[in-house]
Structure 1
Amino acid sequence: MPRTRISGTLSSPKVDLIIDTGNPFLNLTVDGFLKIGCVAATKAAAEEAYYIVKRGSISHHKFEDSLKKMCKEGAYWGTVAGVYVGLEDGVERIRGVRDWKNAMIGGALTGAVISAASNKNKDKIVMDAIAGSAIATAAEFINHFT
């Protein structure tokens, strides 16, 4: 029986925006903030578009609420990404080694810092540090093996 084989690649567009603050550490942090902040704002826009289509109409008030949600999500996730990128780079500079442990430590510190800024529950801070460490380490491994 004849077989057909399909081959191809899927790639995403590459967008690079270079902002030079004069400090390489700060450059990485700002870059992480902008890239992930834009992704989060786009996600919020897509969710809001879905709800608009589902309702069948949009009001001026709902439109303003959608814009506020996009900005809030972008700022939050951009901040998380900026903190993570900065901390991971800082850990790499301190340790003098580029490996997965930097992601693990940077993720743990990011989870703890972001959590501590939003609540005072020590157990929650520790759990968020563990989650941040696990997510960052998993992302590093996935990035390394693909």
Structure 2
Amino acid sequence: MPTSRIGGSLSSPTVNVAIDMGNPFLNVTVDGFLKIGAVAATRALAEDTYHVVKKGSVSGRNLEKTLEKMCKEGAYWGSVAGVYVGMEYGMERMRGTRDWKNAMLGGALTGVLVSAATNKGKDKILTDAITGGAIATAANFLNHYLI
């Protein structure tokens, strides 16, 4: 019986920027900050571009607000990502193993730090720790066990 097959591969473009800070902990933290910060800034740009196109007019004030939003979002999410990546790396180094528990602990500690830094109260800090740990653990499982 005749058969046919189609083969191919699809890969996304990758951009790797390496900044050597002289310390592996700092290297992964800065890398996380830059990558996620750039994604957050791009998301802010895309969102504001949509609103400008929908409105049909561009002004200097719109561009200024967009740039301000890009910087704010990039800095915030880049900082959160940098803290998380640094925490996960630190857990890996302290525990001497690379597993899902590092992601869980790193996510929980990141949730605590981000929540405490914004003065949200004890209950919010606890829920943010649980949420951070759960999201990081789920992402780790999805990344390592399903893909």
CA distance in 1, matches of 2:7, 2:44: 34
CA distance in 1, matches of 2:8, 2:130: 38
Equivalent residue, structure 2, for 1:63 = 63
After superposing on structure 2, the runs of 4+ consecutive aligned residues of structure 1 that deviate more than 3 Å are 4-10
- Give the counterpart letter for 1:140 in structure 2: N
User: Counterparts in 2 of 1:74-85, with a 5 A limit?
Assistant: 74-85=74-85
Equivalent residue, structure 2, for 1:110 = 110
CA distance in 1, matches of 2:5, 2:124: 50
Q: Deviations over 1:25-83 (max 9, x none)?
A: 00000000000000000000000000001100111111100000001000000000000
- Return closer, same or farther for 1:134/1:5 CA change in 2, 3 Å cut-off: farther
Question: What TM-score do you get using the length of structure 1 for normalisation?
Answer: 0.93
User: Counterparts in 2 of 1:22-37, with a 5 A limit?
Assistant: 22-37=22-37
Q: Deviations over 1:125-144 (max 9, x none)?
A: 11111111011001100101
Equivalent residue, structure 2, for 1:13 = 13
CA distance in 1, matches of 2:134, 2:48: 30
Equivalent residue, structure 1, for 2:96 = 96
Percent identity over the alignment is 69
- Give the counterpart letter for 2:47 in structure 1: E
- Give the counterpart letter for 1:31 in structure 2: D
In angstroms, what is the RMSD of aligned CA positions?
1.4
- Give the counterpart letter for 1:79 in structure 2: S
CA distance in 2, matches of 1:131, 1:120: 15
Unmatched 5+ stretches in structure 2: none
Equivalent residue, structure 2, for 1:51 = 51
CA distance in 2, matches of 1:5, 1:134: 41
Secondary structure of 1:16 counterpart: coil
Deviation of 1:15 (Å): 0.4
Unmatched 5+ stretches in structure 1: none
Deviation of 1:6 (Å): 6.7
- Give the counterpart letter for 1:24 in structure 2: P
Equivalent residue, structure 2, for 1:87 = 87
CA distance in 2, matches of 1:138, 1:26: 25
